[in-house]
């Protein structure tokens, strides 16, 4: 029987702050396959997330097929807007939601993981990070600052993560990121530079796959997932409309589930996909293949 076995592997998922997004779904699928899980959480959401975990608010969604509950080996405060500690403004370091944490930069979290698990202690890294402060603005009304913020957090952070985490991974490590088809098609109202950020993310995936493959033997892939009603997606403002339209006009009808993306992610991060890198895998019920609306 062919199955995914990630026993003895450790995954770090950047961008988990609740149990409702694709990052969490991928974490759960990796855990189902036997991997141990660490997550990176945005500092302003860290206390809320850990408190809800302690109170058992996520117990049902964290229950695995075996009946056991998924656990997190580590929860790290991560702000992917910053590459190193010196990039974090002093006033932010002193903010009440940041001051109790150690270095929250990408390199800072990588350093902590090296301290906690050793120089080759991470096998899988998932980039589930996106933020566009002006996502509700049409592109033509997006400020330079808003545009660059979307690019920095949603796209460049993958480059920074590969640079900082690549040396922590044994040969044949796997990186995975999440994109959306707004990178290549017009999605009205998906603004603020986010469509440009997703296009940059996909382009960077290919070059990072080449560079990290030659440097360390690592793989870098992306899942282009269909719309999903996560808490983070509510920031877009019209997520229900997107889901309704794509579910009616895809080759496979129905709503996309987090598990669909989670299982695809587990495959791409497993040895079963050891010859796949630099690839965008569509997990969207086939919607990307359509050239005309059905309904």
**In contact, 188 and 246? CB cutoff 8 Å:** no
Helices 258-268, 22-32: axis angle to 10 degrees equals 60
d(C-alpha 254, C-alpha 285), whole Å: 8
Query: Which positions are annotated as active-site residues?
Result: 180, 190
d(C-alpha 91, C-alpha 281), whole Å: 40
Q: Is 263 exposed, middle or buried (0-12, 13-18, 19+ CB in 10 A)?
A: buried
Sequential DSSP letters for 210-237: HHHHHHH--EEEEEEEPP---TGGGGGS
Rounded to 5°, angle at Cα 191 from 163 and 137: 125
Q: Which residue has the tokens 């796997």?
A: 174
């Amino acid at each position: 029987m062919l199955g995914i076995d990630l026993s003895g592997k450790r995954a770090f998922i950047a961008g988990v702050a609740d149990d409702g997004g694709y990052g969490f779904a991928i974490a759960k699928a990796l855990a189902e396959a036997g991997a141990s899980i660490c997550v990176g959480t945005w500092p302003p959401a860290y206390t809320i997330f850990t408190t809800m975990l302690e109170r058992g608010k996520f117990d049902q969604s964290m229950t695995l097929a075996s009946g056991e509950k998924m656990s997190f080996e580590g929860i790290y405060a991560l702000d992917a807007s910053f590459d190193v500690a010196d990039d974090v403004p002093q006033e932010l370091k002193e903010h009440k939601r940041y001051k109790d944490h150690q270095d929250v930069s990408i390199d800072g979290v990588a350093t902590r993981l090296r301290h906690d698990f050793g120089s080759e202690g991470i096998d899988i890294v998932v980039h589930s990070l996106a933020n566009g402060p002006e996502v509700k603005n049409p592109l033509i009304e997006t400020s330079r600052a808003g545009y660059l913020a979307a690019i920095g957090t949603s796209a460049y952070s993958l480059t920074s993560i590969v640079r900082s985490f690549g040396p922590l991974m044994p040969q044949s490590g796997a990186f995975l990121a999440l994109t959306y088809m707004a990178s290549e098609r017009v999605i009205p109202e998906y603004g603020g530079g986010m469509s440009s950020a997703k296009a940059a993310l996909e382009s960077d995936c290919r070059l990072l796959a080449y560079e990290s493959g030659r440097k360390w033997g690592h793989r870098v892939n992306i899942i282009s997932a269909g719309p999903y009603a996560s808490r983070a997606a509510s920031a877009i403002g019209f997520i229900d409309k997107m889901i309704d339209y794509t579910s009616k006009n895809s080759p496979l009808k129905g709503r996309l589930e987090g598990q669909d993306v989670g299982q695809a992610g587990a495959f791409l991060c497993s040895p079963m996909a050891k010859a796949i890198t630099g690839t965008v895998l569509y997990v969207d019920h086939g919607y990307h293949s359509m050239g005309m609306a059905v309904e």
